[in-house]
């Protein structure tokens, strides 16, 4: 069956995206349909029931645009995924790195694939989203891949050493022993991808460095793949300090989750500040992962959703007081 759907009252570039990026997203979610856009018309070829579902979603997206005068990839995905019959076509067959035991480590979701693509096009990428969406793991896989391909000479992984209700001073041991618990998620990811003996050797020779954010001050990070993890806990000054460490041939990925800020209440998150300040800067990619990218236990997505509902309820109560 063939059908022509008209998008009324909307600039095609706004609806289909620059270079048809939104249209390509629709194709991913409707792989059984052939979609051709001409001006404000979409010609759709496929089975009748799938076309009907597609038209329903186009109407919903059109209504959303007319109400809010905006459209982006996250909004499109949210609208599409409201229907259980729609599942994205994940085409990311590229193996980022072969892990220990021959495990093939790939981007598993649409937004993880976007992160991989953004890193190939931009020297600096922000990956923001809730827990369990694989942003850090994917970033580390990209770093290991770049190191193995000799695109960089070293990997530098860093995190703000911000305590979640604890204090470094009360932990036993020397500075390294105090800091290691904060860096453990980074160690865990590396251990999946590099044999333990080789990883230890790389760390001893400084080929892989894991250090708290404060240790980055005064350095120029060059010929390196650099990841700032848990960036929501960096202050504004720390974020500016880190971003300006970038050398000529460095690749930076900054990951964070704005729902898990452990800074004092009066302290601004450097991640939020940077995203606002740098949104018009060319050469910087921003990937926003969401609940649909959660690849941990199925309960994790339900927990994130439940917390989001509760937070919205509390905001509504606060506004009414």
- The pLDDT tens digits of the residues spanning 203-230 come to 999 999 988 888 898 999 999 999 999 9
My answer on whether 266 and 133 are in the same domain is yes
**In a shared domain, residues 75 and 99:** no
Instruction: Count other Cβ atoms within 10 Å, centred on residue 192.
Output: 16
In a domain, 135, yes or no: yes
| pLDDT over 60 at 93, yes or no | no
d(CA 183, CA 193) in angstroms, rounded, equals 16
Q: Are residues 33 and 112 in the same domain?
A: no
Based on the fold, state whether residues 136 and 218 are members of the same structural domain: yes
- CATH, residue 176: 3.40.50.300
At 166, is the pLDDT very low, low, confident or very high (cuts 50, 70, 90)?
very low
317 part of a folded domain: no
What is the per-residue pLDDT for 88? 59
pLDDT at 110: 78
* pLDDT tens figures, 132-160: 888 999 999 999 999 999 999 999 999 88
**Would you say residue 87 lies in a domain?**
no
Mapping DSSP onto H, E and C, the string for the chain reads CEEEEECCCCCHHHHHCHHHHHHHHHHHHCCCCEEEEECCEEEEECCHHHHHHHHHHHHHHHHHHHHHCCCCHHHHHHHHHCCCCCCCCCCCCCEEEECHHHCEEECCCHHHHHHHHHHHHCCEEEEECCCCCCHHHHHHHHHHHHHHCCCCCEEEEEECCCCCCCCHHHCCCCHHHHHHHHHHHHHHHHHHHCCHHHHHHHHHCCCEEEEEHHHHCCCCECCEEEEECCHHHCCHHHHHHHHCCECCCCEEEEEECCCCCCCCCCCCCHHHHHHHHCCCCCCEEEEECCHHHCCCCHHHHHHHHHHHHHHHHHHHHHHHC
Tell me which of 31, 58, 81 is where a domain ends: 81
* Same domain as 48, residue 109: no
Please, which pLDDT band fits residue 298 given cuts at 50, 70 and 90? low
pLDDT surpasses 80 at 176: no
% pLDDT > 70, the chain = 88
User: Which residue segment(s) compose the domain that 274 sits in?
Assistant: 95-296
**Do 57 and 116 fall within a single domain?**
no
Are residues 74 and 157 located together in one domain of the fold? Answer: no
Confidence of residue 317 (pLDDT cuts 50, 70, 90): confident
Indicate whether 60 and 175 sit together in one domain: no
Of 51, 81, 111, the position where a domain reaches its end is 81
How far does Cα 14 stand from its chain's mean position?
Answer: 23
Q: Check residue 287 and give its pLDDT.
A: 93
Q: For residue 29, what is the domain's CATH number?
A: 3.30.1370.10
Q: Are residues 69 and 117 in the same domain?
A: no
Q: State the pLDDT at residue 86.
A: 63
Residue 265, C-beta contacts closer than 8 angstroms, at least 6 positions apart: none
Work out the mean pLDDT of the chain and round it to a whole number: 85
Share of the chain above pLDDT 90, in %: 43
pLDDT in tens, 67-80: 878 888 777 877 88
* 86 belongs to a structural domain: no
| Final residue of a structural domain among 52, 81, 110 | 81
Whether 302 is covered by a domain: the verdict is: no
Question: Does 101 share its domain with 58?
Answer: no
pLDDT for residue 164: 43
Residue 88 in any domain: the answer is no
For residue 296, the model assigns a pLDDT of 67
Residue 204 lies in a domain: yes
Predicted local confidence at residue 276, as pLDDT:
94
30 and 167 belong to one structural domain:
no
Q: Is residue 154 part of a domain?
A: yes
**What's the predicted TM-score (pTM) here?**
0.67
pLDDT (mean) for 281-309:
81
In terms of domains, do 136 and 49 share one? no
Q: How many domains does the chain have?
A: 2
- Mean pLDDT throughout 27-42? 90
């Amino acid at each position: 069956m063939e059908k022509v759907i008209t998008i009324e009252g909307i600039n095609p570039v706004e609806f289909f995206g620059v270079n048809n990026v939104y249209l390509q997203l629709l194709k991913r979610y409707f792989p059984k349909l052939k979609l051709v856009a001409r001006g404000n018309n979409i010609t759709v070829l496929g089975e009748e029931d799938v076309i009907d579902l597609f038209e329903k979603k186009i109407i919903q997206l059109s209504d959303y645009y007319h109400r809010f005068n905006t459209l982006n990839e996250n909004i499109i995905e949210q609208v599409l995924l409201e229907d259980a019959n729609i599942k994205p076509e994940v085409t990311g067959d590229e193996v980022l790195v072969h892990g220990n035991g021959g495990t093939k480590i790939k981007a598993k979701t649409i937004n993880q694939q976007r992160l991989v693509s953004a890193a190939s096009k931009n020297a600096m990428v922000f990956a923001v989203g809730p827990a369990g969406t694989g942003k850090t793991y994917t970033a580390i896989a990209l770093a290991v891949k770049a190191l193995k391909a000799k695109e960089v000479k070293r990997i530098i992984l860093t995190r703000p050493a911000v305590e979640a209700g604890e204090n470094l001073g009360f932990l036993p041991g020397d500075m390294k022993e105090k800091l290691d618990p904060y860096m453990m998620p980074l160690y865990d990811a590396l251990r999946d991808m590099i044999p333990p003996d080789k990883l230890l050797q790389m760390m001893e020779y400084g080929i892989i460095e894991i250090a708290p954010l404060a240790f980055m001050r005064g350095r120029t990070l060059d010929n390196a793949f650099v990841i700032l993890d848990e960036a929501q806990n960096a202050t504004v000054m720390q974020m500016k300090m880190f971003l300006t460490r970038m050398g000529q041939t460095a690749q930076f990925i900054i990951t964070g989750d704005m729902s898990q800020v452990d800074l004092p209440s009066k302290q601004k998150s450097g991640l939020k500040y940077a995203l606002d300040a740098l949104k018009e800067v060319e050469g910087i990619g921003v990937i926003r992962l969401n609940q649909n990218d959660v690849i941990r236990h199925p309960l994790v997505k339900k927990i994130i959703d439940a917390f989001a509902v509760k937070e919205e309820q509390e905001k509504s109560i606060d506004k009414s007081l």
